[in-house]
Every structure is written in C-alpha cells, then in structure tokens.
Amino acid sequence: MKKTFYQEDSSVIASDLQTDLKAGLSSDAAASRLLENGQNALTTKGKKSLFSKFVDQFKDLMIGILLAAAAVAAMTGEQTDAIFILAIVIINAIFGVFQESKSENAIDALKKMATPKATVIRDGQPNQVPATDLVVGDLVELEAGDIVPADLRLTSVQNLRVEEAALTGESVPVNKTDVTLPAEKLPLGDQKNLAFMNAHVVYGRAQGIVVKTGMQTEVGQIAGALQEQDETKTPLQENLKSLSKFLTYLILGIAALTFVIGYFTQNMSIIDLILTAISLAVAAIPEGLPAIVTITLALGTARMAKKAALMRKLPAVETLGSTDIIGSDKTGTLTQNKMTVEKVVLNGQVVDLAGQNPFEDSDLSQGADRLADIMALNNDSSFTDDGLVGDPTETALIDFNSKYRQEALDELRKQERLQEVPFDSERKMMTTVYGAQDESEHEAVYRVTVKGAPDSILERVTTVLENGQVRAFTEEDKANFQAINGQLADQALRVLAFAEKQVSSIEENADAENLEQGLTLIGFVAMIDPERPEVKDSVAQAKKAGIRPMMITGDHPQTAAAIAARLGILEEGDDREKAVMTGSDLDDISDEDFADRVEDIKVYARVAPAHKVRIVKAWQKKGKVVAMTGDGVNDAPALKAADIGVAMGITGTEVSKEAADMVLADDNFSTIVSAVKEGRKVFANIQKALQYLLASNLAEVIAIFTMTLLGWEVLAPVMILWINLVTDTFPAIALGLEPAQPGIMDRKPRGKMANFLSGGVGPAIVWQGILQAVIVLTVYGLALTFPDHTGTTLVHGDALTMAFMTLGLMQMVNAINVKSVYQSQLRPSTFSNHFFNGALVFSLIAMMAVVVIKPLNPIFHVTNLDAYQWLIVIGASVSIIVIVELVKWVQRKLFNRG
C-alpha cells in the first residue's frame, strides 16, 4: 500500500519530486512543470460566450410566442408590427446579457483581489512569486501572516501555528511539526506535518515542499465536487416560471377562442383573424417583464454593492427579502475578528479600560507601565509592509501599547532579545530575557519577562507589585487573584498573567526551570474579540422584522453565550441550557428530537462547518427561508443548501465564495440585515411593476376580445406594441426605483409560499384591468354613438384613435395607483421619486406624439384628434385615479385593508 505524504520522510518526498531541500527547483524545471501541469489555481465552470448568453435569452416560451407573432405579421404584410416585436425582444435579450456579464466581472475582480503571493526558493535563492505560479516540488517558505499557497509537506518547522478552520473547522490554530507520522487514515486536522492551501500562518516559520497544487489540493477537491452540484431555483425564479407558464396557456387559449368566435360570428377573413390573434398575443404578453425584473434586480444589486454586499446571483436579491432565519458566524461577522484588551488587573483590582485610563491614575501608573513593558517585550508579533502580523493575542498586546504609549513602545521594540523559552501546552507560559540597567545600583542586570495562564504563573510568583512597591505574595493574594481570574473567565474574557524579575546573571541556554521561578506578579490582562458596535442595533432590527438571528461558531459555549448576550441574540429570560447547543450535543441528538428543539436554540458553539447543513435543513423542513454565513471550504455545502448562502469577502475562501449567493465585502452581520431590507424593497417594487404591467395587459386583452365580439375595428398590433413599449419601459423601470415603504422592516417575513400575486396584488390586477377596459370601451362606444362638438358623428378612425390614446394614457396614470395596493396616493410623498416623475412625463409625451405629429399617423393607423376629442381622452384617462382612490377608501374602511 502506497504511503501518503504525511507518512513519508521529507527527504524521500524530495527525491521523488526531484527537488533539493536547500536549493529548491531550478527556474527552468519550475517553468517546465508550470507549462505541463497548469497554474496553481482553483478552476471554475467555463464561462458562456456572449453569443451563448444571448441565445439563452430566447428560450422562454413567451418570447417564442412573440417571435412567432413577428413572423406571422411579416408574412401578412405588417412589416412595422414585425419590426416592433423583434425590437422589444432584442432589447430584453441585451439587458439580460449585460447583467449576467456584469455579475461575472464583479466576481472576477474579487478573485484577483484575493490572489496571494508566495515566497519560493528556486536556484537556491528566495523569490516572491504569485501563488498561481507554484508547481509540485517547489520549496516554499512560510512565516506569520502568510496564506499557505498550496498543499505542503513541511520539511522544517520553528514554532509554526496554522489556522485551518476553513478546511477542518478547528477554531484554534494548529501546532505543526516536520516529523513523519506513521499512522494510517489520519483525519486532515491530525496531519500535522502538512500545511493545506488557503490556511493562515499565525505564528512561527517553516519550509515545505509543494506536493499538490490547484484542483488536486484538499481545497480543490472539495471545489470540484461542489461544481458538480445543480443550482437550486430561487423563489423569484420559481414565481416567474409559474407566472410565465400560466400567462402562456392563457394567451394561447384567448387567441384560439377569439379566432373561433371571429370566424363563425363575424365572418372575418383569415388574415384579419390572424392579425387579431396577433394583437391579442401582443396585448397579453408582458414583453417588458423580463427586462423590468432584471433591471429592478440589477438596481438593487448596485445599491447593495455600495453597502458592501456583492450579489453573485441576481434572483437572490429578492430571496433575501423573505429571509426568516440568519445563521451567522461569530468571529469577524458579529465580532471585530481582532482580540482587544478590555480590562487589566493592577493592585489586585479590575480596571475597565472603557471608563478609566490606568496610565493617568497615580496609584496605577507604575504598575500599568511595567505591565505594558512586558506586553511588548514578551511578544513575537512583528511590523511588516502589510501592518502588524502575528498571533491575535500578541497583536492585541501591541495595539494596547500603541494606543496608550506609542513612544515607549518604539523604544522597547529596539531592545535585543537575548534568550527565550517558547510557549508550550504543558507550561502554558512564554519567557523572554533582555538586557537591562538597574538605575539605583548602576550594575548590569537582565530582565526576565513571563506571560501565560494565570494558574500557572500564580504557582511561580513569590512577590507582587502593589502601588509601585514590591511586597511578599501571600496565600490571601493568591486566592484573591484566582477569584478575579474566575470572574473574568465567566465573562468570556481570555485572561493572561504577567510577571517579571531581574537577575544579575543568566546561564547560557537557560531553561524554564531556571528562569520561571521567584517571579514578581505585575498584573492580569483580560481580552476578548469584541462585538462590532453596529451589530447590536442590527440584531434588534432583524428581530423587529420577524427575522431570527442565530450564532453558529466553533468557539467555546461560554464565550459564544457571552457575546450573544452582549448583542441581544440571547435575552435575559432565555434558559441557557435550552438556548445554547454544542456540536457534540448535536451529534448525540436524533433528527426528530432536533426538530422539536431547534426553535429554542439561539447559539450553536463548538460546531464543525458540517453541522451547519443539518441546522439549515432542520429550519427548511419547517418552511423557513434560511440565510447562512460561512468562510471556509467546509462551509460550502451549507452555503449551497441554504436559501441564501453568504460568504465572507475578506476571510472567505474562493470555494465558499463560489458556493455563495452573496459575498460580504466587509464580513459584517449588519450588511446582511441591510441587504434583507433591500431585498424586501426589491420584491415590493417588482410587485408594483407586475401589477402595473399585468393590469395594463389585461385591459388590452379584454378590450380587444370585446371589440371582436361586437364587430368593432380592433386595435392593430403596432398600436398595442407602441403602448407596451412606452408603458413597459420608463414608468415600469421607475417603479423599480421606488423608495422603501415606511415600516418595511417592521413587518414579518412574507413566507416561503408567498408569490408576486399575494398581498392583494392579484385581485388588484383583475379589478383594475377590468376597470381600464370598461373605460376604454366606453370611450370607443360613445365616440361611435354621439356626435362631436360640431354635431357630426365621429368617424370610425377617430373612435379607434381615442380608444388607443385612452388606453395608453390611462395605463401610465395608473402607475401612480400601483405604488400601494390599499393606501391612498393623494399625498406629497407619492412624487418623491423624481425619476418616476420624469419617466411619466416623458412617456405621456411619447404616447401623445404619435397622434399630434401627423407624419406618424399612418404608421400607427391613427387620426389627428381635435381639442374636444382630447378633452374626452384626458378626462377618461384621469378618471382611473378617482375611481381607484374610492375603491381603496372602501377597502380600508369596510375591510380594514392596508
């Protein structure tokens, strides 16, 4: 049986890969391997060509009917009609291609931003190269702050710690080794002589041989498996698909019925019947709907991008609006992902830095200075071109110094470290030795600084610093400091103790036994990864909107619960036993019992990313729309399974971003809540546009069908197309720009079963469509029956023109009505959308122009109207506002609507 890389000695691997453990590969060998095996990058599904994207836009059944109508119109001599139909279809297709390409380009830009550099030894010299240029056999150097650029077999290690949560789900950094591991079938987390692609080096240094690149790495294999999964349809896509199918069958049925009635009762010619059927098809199909939905979603996407939410999948914008559950990571999303010193313990008392500066207090200042000295000296973090790098705990100590005493920090960092005893898990301490000068005695001394776990250090101290004086450390002192340590730990604070001593001499290569005895306790430091300041308000806003925020973290239950309580995810009356569940608890519970308990659980702690899928599915079985955050490779299945997968833009892996629907550029929970608000607004605006379009199209269908039954001249296809072109573009698009309605985040989520016709929209479409048709037919009938102001009966062409203009103008006026299903629009805020106001005026002018401008009359089969006829048309068109306002008033008063 062939050994795996962690079982092989590094020298054997180097021999097999024909590389040198000191000089690495030659440049020529590296170039040859790169050419042969390709770049060290994760590949994604091949992109469609622009032509393929364009062709895909024509696969909708309604678009097919329009194309058929254009063909028939062309064959029957109606060239203008055919051109208009094709123009509408092509415009829609161009919109679709543009938005799809725009979304892809945004993700490509995100990928380029995330491409790391790697330090590789080639020809015996270290070089910085793009990680994508690494090849199998390259010798790579790692140090704190690096991203592991490929899968490496470590060959030499100096205190290396690597954060592998993205792959293994382990929340704490892993101590690495270069020792061969003989065991078989070790899990990834235990393969400690390997470093995996995309992991983060938090401490120490190492060298390693590249053993896998690109899609062959552990990350790449998961990425490949994910790309085989089918994309799930969003509620928006399902809604549009169902609506398109319904409208298609309805259109075909009405056209066929009209054809039969016209043939048997009106003795119409086959050509006239075909043209009438085309008019009906054109009238019934909301040609602009795909474009309006796309544009509304695109506008929502653009607004979200400005707020750091990048949508990878356009329909997901709307899905956000129906979100019931948000499962969020803690670190970096709810918190700042930056350990921060929150409290210090000096003179045996706790000092909260939020309200007190210990350096300005005369009783505390000496102890604070000495404590800060040890923080800076007993520290392995370093300043680089990219900023401060190192273990998060140690960088927090440097940040503390930078905040309170930058000049002293600069001086301390210049001192030379003479000796050190690194931290290990048994001692739980780290010790450093520096040269020092005892000013009172003027003799050379050495300063020994120690930091570590309080329990460990308290066992080794003999004196304590209090009010600037050193005195004996008593059992009472020990009990007091142990109690303080317990109190701080209960608040989920990470506590470190700091001690020091001065000696006149040190042995060469002194060890812990010599250095870590007879210490003077200086004080404690209490740290935490604090919550983001804006998240608490966002959690409250989410709850008010009926959305349940949950914390899902690999951190300890105590820490997770403390942060959850500070943010308001956990409330005072919550039973912690029921509200907090660990990963091991989750493993021990059946699906049935979990389903019973899931509504009580607000915090999941010490969970692996794989647990997230189970949490997602448990809520989905209850009919909830779930948004789930993640940043690691192992999070990808949960991001796929969730209704809205949310990846982290800063800390997230490429695999998680590929699996997600949305990427947070700032890794911030508040951005998700803002995006939910935008999603709700998008859904509401699509509903407005849909109500506007379908009510208009229904009016057209009823009017043409009734005209056919009565034997009247029917509106020509070019007339209907012009109305649809004018009304379906600017006013409908402008409805997509409507501001969010007041209280939109005070409502409960609309539910998974809701669709575009819910919330009173469906009935409003029907009665407003019928109302418009009745008004149009009334104008037509009166124009044929009653004489004009000169006493002469109107000619047939004038009557049809008046019906045409009434239908077009009234649809645009009705755009004002659809801004709310039940609320009155006779208020100033109705016209706060300036784009809508401009679009309405432009469309009204464009609609009237085909009648006012005489050369256009023959193209649209219209006549030129006089002032009396215009008065009738305008009066009938505006009447829609009066009637609709009266109906809404009755609905509000009698049925408590709105």
Supply the residues annotated as catalytic: 329
Specify the amino acid at residue 258: T
CA distances from 189 to 161, 164, 176, 579, 726 (A): 13, 8, 10, 29, 62
C-alpha 82, offset from chain centre: 43
The C-alpha atoms of residue 730 and residue 724 are separated, in whole angstroms, by 11
The two beta strands, 626-630 and 325-328, are parallel
552: left (phi over 0), alpha (psi -120 to 50) or beta: beta
**What is the CB-side half-sphere exposure of residue 597 using CA atoms within 13 A?**
19
The C-alpha atoms of residue 559 and residue 529 are separated, in whole angstroms, by 10
Sign of the dihedral defined by the CA atoms of residues 2, 7, 9, 10, in that order = positive
The two beta strands, 325-328 and 548-552, are parallel
The two beta strands, 200-212 and 139-143, are antiparallel
Contacts of 587 (CB under 8 A, 6+ apart): none
The C-alpha atoms of residue 785 and residue 791 are separated, in whole angstroms, by 12
With tokens 């989920």, the residue in question is 492
Residue 18: count other Cβ atoms within 10 Å of its Cβ.
11
The token duo for 176 is 């690495």
Residue 251: count other Cβ atoms within 10 Å of its Cβ.
23
Specify the amino acid at residue 354: A
Query: Using an 8 Å Cβ cutoff, are 298 and 314 in contact?
Result: yes
The C-alpha atoms of residue 314 and residue 105 are separated, in whole angstroms, by 13
591: left (phi over 0), alpha (psi -120 to 50) or beta: alpha
418-420-426 Cα angle (round to 5): 170
DSSP 311: E
The C-alpha atoms of residue 759 and residue 897 are separated, in whole angstroms, by 10
Contacts of 215 (CB under 8 A, 6+ apart): 42, 43, 221, 223, 224
Which among 247, 250, 88 has a CA at the least distance from the CA of 732?
88
The C-alpha atoms of residue 70 and residue 769 are separated, in whole angstroms, by 25
The token duo for 522 is 């200086």
Query: Using an 8 Å Cβ cutoff, are 717 and 74 in contact?
Result: no
The C-alpha atoms of residue 890 and residue 872 are separated, in whole angstroms, by 27
Q: For 650, phi and psi rounded to 5 degrees?
A: -90, -55
CA distances from 573 to 569, 570, 577 (A): 12, 8, 12
DSSP H or E run through 481 = helix 475-490
The C-alpha atoms of residue 423 and residue 206 are separated, in whole angstroms, by 17
Q: How far apart are the first and last CA of the chain?
A: 72
Query: Using an 8 Å Cβ cutoff, are 596 and 536 in contact?
Result: no
The token duo for 757 is 């016709």
The C-alpha atoms of residue 215 and residue 194 are separated, in whole angstroms, by 17
The C-alpha atoms of residue 805 and residue 874 are separated, in whole angstroms, by 9
Query: Using an 8 Å Cβ cutoff, are 245 and 61 in contact?
Result: yes
Q: For 344, phi and psi rounded to 5 degrees?
A: -130, 155
With tokens 């340590």, the residue in question is 485
| Residue 644, beta-bridge partner list | 627
